[in-house]
Chain A
Amino acid sequence: MKENKKTYWKGLEELTNQPEFVKNAEREFPEAPSVLGGEEGASRRDFLKLMGFSLAAASLAACEAPVRKAIPYVNKPVDVNPSIPNYYASTFASGGDYASIVVKTREGRPIKIDGNELSPINGKGVNAIVEASVLSLYDKQRLKGPHIDGELTDWSTLDSQLKSALGSAGSVKIVTNTILSPSTQKALDKFAESVGGEIITYDPVSNYGILKAAETSYGVSGLPTYKFDNAKVIVSFGADFLGTWISPTEFARQYVKGRKITKENPNMSRHFQFESNLSLTGANADYRTPIKPSQSGLAVLALYNALARKGGAATVSGASVEIANIDQAANELWSNRGNSIVVSGSNDPNVQIVINAINDLLGNNGKTVDFSKPSYFRKGDDEKMNKFVTDLKAGRVGGVVFYNCNPVYDFAKGADVEEGISKAKVSVSTNSTMDETASLVKFVAPDHHYLESWNDFNPRSGEYSLSQPTISPLFDTRQAQESFLVWAGESSNYFDFLKDNWSESLMGTQSEISDSQEFWDRSLYNGVYSDGSESEEVSGSVDVSAAATAIGRSYKADNAGAELSIYTKVGIGSGTYANNPWLQEMSDPISKATWDNYLTVSQKWAKDNNVKMVEGATKKAKITVGDKSLVVPVLVQPGQADGTFGLALGYGRTKAGRVANGVGVNAYELLDLSKGFVNYDITEGVSVEITSDAYKIAQTQTHQTYMGRDFVIQEATLADYKKDASAGRYQPKIYKEGEFVKPSKVSLWKGHKYSQHHWGLAIDMNSCIGCGACTVACQVENNVAVVGKQEVLNRREMAWIRIDRYYSSPEGASSNSELEKAADNPEVTFQPMMCQHCNNAPCETVCPVAATTHSSEGLNQMTYNRCIGTRYCANNCPYKVRRFNWFKYHDNKDFSTVNVAQNDDLGKMVLNPDVTVRARGVIEKCSMCVQRIQLGKLTAKKEARKVQDGEINTACAAACPTDAIVFGDMNDPESKITKMLKIEENTTSAVKEVNEERAYHVLEEINVSPNVWYFTKIRNKEKSEA
């Protein structure tokens, strides 16, 4: 190629090649001084300067906060908008514990569970266990894939090995808890059929007695449907139907419906409770009689006889027993025939037969106790299970499959199951953690968490619901039903199986929708479906005399020995979810204890044995039942029947996970199977010895009574209320300029004006049953830290809302020392207590840096960023609702075991992104869910309208199954709260004139002017007593 001889130049300087140009040619900006050197090159000083700068820069860069990964969507999913929650209807079911729910998800993560308002069973309410279950999804101790002999494997290996193993195993038994799902049942049946197996159902907390009695009396298989709302008189023998019995959320809703009173309708049901331990239900009863378990059968007979005499029916023989209030109960039941209900918590079929007979006598059958529309919450057959365990132990079972159940831990003969598993040729479990049972079997095929699963449910005849996944499976797990289908050689996946099954069985029960896909979509959207089927008539004659004879043999009127009544706690239940720290730290509604089970003893026993509880410090006792004994701490429980002891199930887990392992003792071992059914009342061979070992039980409340302080608790009897709607009210007056005026009339403050909203809460102490669902709901919603047992012992639990539980003092108590003591069988009052959002807030004035201030809508706000942690506000809070971050609770290995939601990456996914995780050294407290208020206001603003009542709700009020907490705008004349409180006229003043006679402020006389109102507690009693 010819060489190009042309010269290209950029400017005249280059062309002329002046010396000045040549010198500067290398430097783009000749006038700027060079970084290093300049003309003489780099000097030593420049070098040092530069090095110093680099060092400083490097160290500054090193100080920077670590990079946090926030990955934006490349393709945004259609329904997922950052910061906008989505809600999906689903169902919680654990064994027979059931709730139809709505799951709140944020950016694809389920973070909160609420009740499904459309559900005819639990409605908008859920209990603490359901609320807390969302955390178990993010439990990093869940199995991350299938296991064979404890080694991680893949599904195809497991499937092939398992199939061939089961094929040659011989007799196969499939053990399960109650299955509420028709499709699961079908899939399981197919599997059972394919391997020639038999399905054994048991329940950790069994209601076999009722099932067997229903079968015997009416030929019905299933539990009756109870309607407490239709009952004017309720009699319960040891059934804790508000706390733990069968379907407590549903019953609580019904119960409180019959107990909400107003001046216009001052009628409420009357509730008699006969029980040994003080249960949540007993605590709400109008008349509670402590009885021994050994008397309970006779007490039921006594009631039957009393009613039979009235009705002219034949009485039955039974040892006579003196039990207070039985006659009164009988009289009132009789005068409310058809409008009353009698239930018993006993698992003894004979007792339940007599209960059936009583309800028949009273004509309640079909009205309040409905066998024609059976419920399926419990299907466990104790006798069958017992036989299976015997076979298993004897080595007569070839293959055993445990479908999401843990009998090694939660069956009375757990040790036998443990021994038997090793004798079976093939053992399989679908449990999602390596629990007591799963860790012993050969094949573990972990199931999805329920929030990752598809399923259908049939909790009651004619009532259906669906569950749907709200997140992709976090681990390599597989839905158990799908496993069963695979093992049965079915090809369809479970979702199709379920969908087909749904339309096949239910499409025909309605005529509204003709397209099966649309029917499915509608059902899934609603979460629930009622087929509207008419109930069938149930008839049968109850044979009381045989049952009475059996009762006469096994119950005694005067048993001198110690008796043990084993119960379940509201928070921990059967122990399946014990590894959830939210539940462990939830204080028991009655004992206010956390992180433990304990032997509840009567005050008399404690006195005799010189046990005095001070700030949770107590002693341990050794309880022996037959040949088994346990050493447990003692908790002095007012209301405990003398001579009886209570011990909760659900503790003493050994392989539940880091949270629950080693917490408490396992009471399942003490259960008695000698009568064929699982007997929770041990009346023979029980002995309790106090030991000298000291122990501390972590209680959130250690003072039991309200010291007769009517400025805290205001209560009245129904009779008094009917006479005067302001009965029981304490109305302090302050002397001012010659007259006595309400405290609100005397103030140093100018007062606030709320021109827009004025948020407030109204709390009906008559509706609050004390179940504690609100406390867990608040914990989930507001990222409240779990602090662990030691810190609860140090009295530093972080709960923003607590339920104060007060016992009454002995009758006639007047001195301080007498008032401090609880009565032996006390009246119980529950008072939910959270920040009162005072208009004249004592906390606001004392903060030196104005970190806590008042909003223009009546809220007392806490600015965490500004707080320097002097704790003056907490000291000056008369309600003691402010909580201090004593330590750094998040990202701190000292709290990583207990505060899992704020310490590991997976756990943190449950945090509510709208609420800050608080730093060490700042105060926090109830914000009245300001994030929800804000969201509601913004939604309304976007739609250019006013906020509607009911649109915004606090987490506590939303969770409350009994609507005891009502949230709303007191400036809105149409709001529920305004109407409840009968707020005089709509003013913007902070101090509202409230005309509802029952409404009061706690500590009215100090005129901090709270925005939280309480309604007096009304007891349906003739006269108030201790």
Chain B
Amino acid sequence: MQVTSSVREPLITGGKTLKDVTHDISRQVEGKPSMLWLLALLVSVGALALGFIALAATLWEGIGMWGLNKTIGWAWDITNFVWWVGIGHAGTLISAVLLLFRQKWRMAINRAAEAMTIFAVICAAMFPIIHMGRPWLGAYWALPLPNTFGSLWVNFNSPLLWDVFAISTYFSVSLVFWYIALIPDFATIRDRATGLRKVIYSGLAFGWDGAAKTWSRFETVSLILAGLATPLVLSVHTIVSFDFATSVIPGWHTTIFPPYFVAGAIFSGFAMVLTLMIVTRKVFKLEDYITIGHIELMNIVIIITGSIVGIAYITEFFIAWYSGVEAEQYAFVNRAFGPYWWAYWAMMTCNVISPQLFWFKKIRTSIVLTFILSLVVNIGMWFERFVIIVTSLHRDFLPSSWAMFYPTWADVGVYLFTFGLFFTLFFLFAKFFPVINMFEIKSIIKSSSTKEAK
């Protein structure tokens, strides 16, 4: 076990004891749902239901319900896909990479961040399926399954197929990792519960007995999974970026995409974690567990990744100019000054300029400002994907085919559907699962003796 210097600021404030931790966190699971929670859930389910109309219309009538056209074959669908996948990066990064780096501050937020990852990936994974013209076939034809079509096989050259592998691997590993870590906490709840709840949580706890050997195995499995998950953090978005980087379209055909996408993903993931955490700590009164220190550290990650993304934007322009390729140069000039200039500048403002405000300690330790900026970053990251996809496609090589993209109600509705899905799942999680990793938190509470020494 790693030893933390007693000089360090405590990660958990409020002089919590082990019992306090158990109580504070299990309380949410055991208590009656609050009005606020019910209201939030209602709104989410409402969004889900409303969005479902758009989704159903799309599936029933065809992709023509969206605003796509002969020139722009992807717009909101793949923008949303990449955006959600990006958001789904923070959880694994926090729990796996920070675990390997022994960053103990992660402990208060990793559970929720991982849940968010899983829900975001579910939302993301929906788009590659529903954006297909024939999802009822594509949903399984895109898998390398043995079939009765003779020697018909998937095309291993296609980045879309790589996506299938990348996303499904990432999703399974994240899910297993998340669930494994939930088991000891489920056991805690089980031990406190009675009646039906005891039965359910007994099932969820998989017969956890808390024996030393069990703990030892648990630690080993966690470490192995963390080791497995770490490369995935880098690989998933790298592969998603290949969808664009391997193409011939100016603005897509760019070797900078893999690192740039990964940085962007972490950037947006952290922003989304912040958004959710700030709300959760307030609603569930967990200010002592998710402290201003956590928020500040995450804001620092946002400054770094935001700056990387900013440099990537500028590099793209430089390379376009340096390449001497006319279509490439036009693609970038068109981004900044063409018909979609507003999307580009929205992206630049939100992603490059706004995170720089976090250099000021006042801003980065302000809950309200952090919350606002986290939203701004997520808006900016959505625009980043929109800019890459739509502004590159809408004016490519042959001016005769240049077109504009106008979203329809169904585009908006399907996006709303994913929001509804995400928040419904998240609120259900927040109510019925322990939102903070109890057993890990317990390892970083300062003992009564260190408290006295202070």
Contacts and interface: CB of A to CB of B under 8 A. Distances in A.
A791 B68 CA distance: 11
A879 interface: yes
Contacts of A84: none
Interface string A613-645: 011000000000000000000000000000000
Interface string A2-42: 00000000000000000000000000000000000000000
Interface in B136-188: 137-138, 141-142, 152-155, 157-161, 164
A642 B247 CA distance: 45
Nearest to B397: A878
A874 interface: yes
A49 interface: no
A883 B70 contact: yes
A711 interface: yes
Interface size of A as a range: 35 or more
Contacts of A921: 62-63, 132-134
B399 A709 contact: yes
Interface string B47-77: 0000000000000011110011111111000
Interface string A386-418: 000000000000000000000000000000000
Contacts of A1005: 325
Interface string A847-860: 11110000000000
B327 A711 contact: yes
A867 B134 contact: yes
Contact of B161 (A806, A848, A887): A848
A887 B400 contact: no
A557 B401 CA distance: 41
B133 A867 contact: yes
Nearest to B392: A875
B62 A707 contact: no
Contact of A849 (B61, B73, B138, B247): B138
Given A797-B70, A842-B247, A1005-B325, A849 B330 contact: no
Contacts of A888: 62
A848 B247 contact: no
B103 to A, nearest CB: 38
Contacts of B61: 887
Contact of A876 (B62, B161, B247, B325): B247
B248 A876 contact: yes
Contact of B133 (A794, A871, A875): A871
Contacts of B333: 816
A868 B399 contact: no
Given A709-B399, A842-B248, A875-B249, A884 B326 contact: no
A833 interface: yes
Given A711-B327, A846-B247, A876-B249, A1003 B164 contact: no
B398 A833 contact: yes
Contacts of A876: 247-249
Contacts of A920: 62, 133-134
Given A867-B134, A878-B249, A1005-B325, A846 B70 contact: no
A50 interface: no
A868 B132 contact: yes
Contact of A804 (B67, B327, B334, B398): B398
A878 B251 CA distance: 12
Interface string B69-91: 11111100000000000000000
A795 B403 contact: yes
A503 interface: no
Given A816-B330, A887-B61, A848 B160 contact: yes
Interface string A646-677: 00000000000000000000000000000000
Contact of A847 (B62, B64, B158, B243): B158
B215 interface: no
Tell me what chain B mostly uses at the interface: helix, strand, loop, or mixed: loop
A87 to B, nearest CB: 34
Contact of B403 (A615, A791, A802, A846): A615
A159 B158 CA distance: 70
A702 interface: yes
Contacts of B154: 848-850
A870 B337 CA distance: 30
Contacts of A353: none
Tell me what chain A mostly uses at the interface: helix, strand, loop, or mixed: loop
Contacts of B72: 875
A519 interface: no
Contacts of B135: 868
Name, among B62, B133, B159, B164, the residue most crowded by chain A CB atoms within 10 Å (CB to CB): B133
Interface size of B as a range: 35 or more
A846 B400 contact: no
Interface string B387-408: 0000001011111111110000
A878 B246 CA distance: 13
A872 interface: yes
Given A875-B247, A887-B64, A868 B398 contact: no
B131 interface: yes
A871 B134 CA distance: 11
Name, among A874, A880, A1002, the residue most crowded by chain B CB atoms within 10 Å (CB to CB): A880
B63 A869 contact: yes
Nearest to A705: B399
Contact of B326 (A711, A869, A886, A887): A711
B402 A703 contact: yes
B240 to A, nearest CB: 13
A615 B62 CA distance: 24
A843 to B, nearest CB: 10
A872 B393 CA distance: 11
Contacts of B404: 614-615
A747 interface: no
B158 A872 contact: yes
Nearest to B160: A848
A846 B158 contact: yes
A89 to B, nearest CB: 37
Interface in A104-144: none
Nearest to B155: A850
Given A615-B404, A794-B69, A921-B63, A878 B399 contact: no
A887 B69 CA distance: 12
A850 B397 CA distance: 25
Interface string A682-724: 0000000000000000000111011101011000000000000
A802 B71 CA distance: 14
B403 A868 contact: no
A966 interface: no
A845 interface: yes
Contacts of A875: 72-74, 247, 249, 393
Contacts of A707: 330, 399
Contacts of A885: 62, 133
A1023 interface: no
A958 interface: no
A544 to B, nearest CB: 46
A263 interface: no
Given A706-B399, A871-B133, A921-B134, A846 B141 contact: no
A847 B155 contact: yes
A1008 interface: yes
Interface in B362-398: 393, 395-398
A534 B318 CA distance: 74
Given A705-B399, A795-B403, A845 B134 contact: no
Nearest to A1002: B398
11 contacts: A615-B403, A796-B64, A846-B159, A846-B247, A848-B160, A850-B153, A850-B155, A868-B135, A878-B397, A880-B70, A921-B132
Closest 9 CB pairs of A and B: A869-B133, A921-B133, A886-B64, A868-B138, A871-B73, A795-B69, A804-B400, A880-B401, A848-B160
Given A615-B404, A816-B333, 19 more contacts: A702-B403, A711-B397, A712-B398, A796-B70, A816-B330, A845-B246, A848-B158, A868-B132, A868-B133, A869-B132, A869-B138, A870-B128, A870-B132, A871-B68, A875-B74, A876-B247, A919-B134, A922-B133, A1008-B248
